[in-house]
Amino acid sequence: AILCLDLGTVTGFAIRFRNGAVLSGTRAFTPRRFDGGGMRYLRFRGWLDEVLWHCRKIEALFFEEVRAHAGTDAAHVFGGFLATLIAWCEEHDIAYEGVPVGTIKRHVTGKGNASKQAVIEAVRALGHEPEDHNEADALALLHWVIDTGAVRGMARDRKSTRLNSSDTDITR
């Protein structure tokens, strides 16, 4: 399977199985009232384990690489998800790659600075019904991966799983 993620407190995901079927949705990792600072990341890691169990094997994982954030808190939260994700991929020997937001938007809309609504509409035109911009971003990323042949072009470093190039319900 190929797993594409839009990381955040509400994480969008899109999975393409070997048979071509696509499963997408969102998963919220909102902190609860009495949670410690790391609980959202532990829940995220548990969810990744659940996704892997359902998929049996993940050949590659792609995530939306955000370089500018709305604020400091958003940057810290993204960094926590990213660190958790990369460590998890390394642990499970899963190749991973971050793809810049502008690259994804340009691919599905023709415009690198397209609005969230424009991405949602472009993904709908591709035959999907995303519930929000998080799911739409993950689906847009999946289409970039498929259309560019990013998985076929993966050359894996011997020392790391990091790439060299710059019917289950798992939504609950």
pLDDT tens digits in sequence order for the chain, 172 residues long = 999 999 999 999 999 999 999 999 999 999 999 988 899 999 999 999 999 999 999 999 999 998 776 678 888 899 999 999 999 999 999 999 999 999 999 999 999 999 999 999 999 999 999 999 999 999 999 999 999 999 876 644 323 333 333 344 455 4
Which has the closest alpha carbon to 4: 85, 78, 67, 61? 61
Count the helices and strands in the chain (H runs, E runs): 5, 5
Cα–Cα distances (Å) from 169 to 23, 79, 88, 143, 172, in that order, read 9, 27, 21, 21, 7
**pLDDT (0 to 100) of residue 69:** 67
Which has the closest alpha carbon to 145: 11, 26, 15? 15
Which residues on adjacent β-strands are paired with residue 98?
A: 63
Interatomic CA distance for residues 21 and 17, integer angstroms: 5
The token pair at 48 is 């990744």
The token pair at 149 is 């042949």
Which has the closest alpha carbon to 168: 17, 7, 29, 60? 17
The reported pTM is 0.87
Beta strand 2-6 pairing with 60-65: parallel
Which residues on adjacent β-strands are paired with residue 22?
A: 16
Beta strand 22-28 pairing with 60-65: unpaired
**pLDDT (0 to 100) of residue 169:** 47
132 touches 10 (CB < 8 A)? yes
In what helix (H) or strand (E) does residue 63 lie, and over which residues does it extend? strand 60-65
Task: Give ∠ CA 88-93-99 in degrees, rounded to 5.
Answer: 70
3-state helix vs strand vs coil in the chain, percent to 5: 40, 20, 40
